[in-house]
Amino acid sequence: MPSYKLTYFDFDGGRGEPVRIAFHAAGIDFEDHRVSFPQFGEMRASLRFNALPVLEIDGTVVTQSNAISRYIGEMGDLYPADELQALYCDEVMDAFEDLSHHIVRTFGLEGEELRAAREKLADGWLLVFLRGLDDLLARGGGEYFADNRLTVADLKAFVHTRWLTSGSLDHIPTDLVQRVAPSLVEHQKRIEGDPVVVAYYASRS
């Protein structure tokens, strides 16, 4: 069995969280290496693409969160074998990744500049992506995004929806998702209560 080391920020969210849950679901031991933001600042220049997460497989470094999620998801039966359903799964993960890029562009802003950027985001790209993702959930049947079961796409959606509704993003209304795409909030609650996800967080407590 290869050795796995996942390096990501020390919080329960973001691009690394779906990978952590998938590892746990697959029953694969891994080193959950969590770093602080100051530590990331010190190591950033040494990272490929200057970004996290990073997965080391027997010392070989792999990047890109969606690629890592697919890899672990396949081992944990959280990624569709059917090619069309796999495409649906990938579409959802890539859409959330695109959405993240829009949000991350507002990081580092302060005061009125931050307020203006976040309000523009809430009235613009967030609406586009929430409505689009609502359509993708409906296409999947309303409960899951692909394959009529839990996949890594659902894990990524759960983590991101929880983030958008948490209040941690200043000037993004916590009820925005509920108003624009209530099915995503229901989906978040469904995945949060899934035995796979419950077991992961129970292992963390």
Is the pLDDT at 178 greater than 90? The verdict is yes
Question: Minimal CA–CA distance to 64: which of 15, 2, 21?
Answer: 15
> Residue 43 maps to which CATH number?
3.40.30.10
The reply to whether 141 and 88 lie within a common domain is: yes
The pLDDT value recorded for residue 180 is: 97
The reply to whether 48 and 113 lie within a common domain is: no
Is the pLDDT at 166 greater than 90? The verdict is yes
Which are the contacts of 117, defined by CB distance < 8 A and separation ≥ 6?
105, 106, 109
The reply to whether 121 and 38 lie within a common domain is: no
The reply to whether 48 and 96 lie within a common domain is: no
Calpha distance 112→176 (Å, rounded): 20
Mean pLDDT, residues 104-128 taken together: 96
| Terminal CA-CA length for the chain | 27
> Residue 164 maps to which CATH number?
1.20.1050.10
Give me the chain's average pLDDT, please. 97
Is the pLDDT at 205 greater than 90? The verdict is no
Please classify residue 30 by burial: count the beta carbons closer than 10 Å to its beta carbon, then call 0-12 exposed, 13-18 middle and 19+ buried.
buried
Q: Are 16 and 65 in contact, with CB atoms under 8 Å apart?
A: yes
Is the pLDDT at 121 greater than 90? The verdict is yes
* Domain boundaries, position 32: 4-77+198-204
Give me the number of domains the chain comprises: 2
Residue 1's pLDDT band (cuts 50, 70, 90): confident
- What's the pTM value of the predicted model, to 2 decimals? 0.96
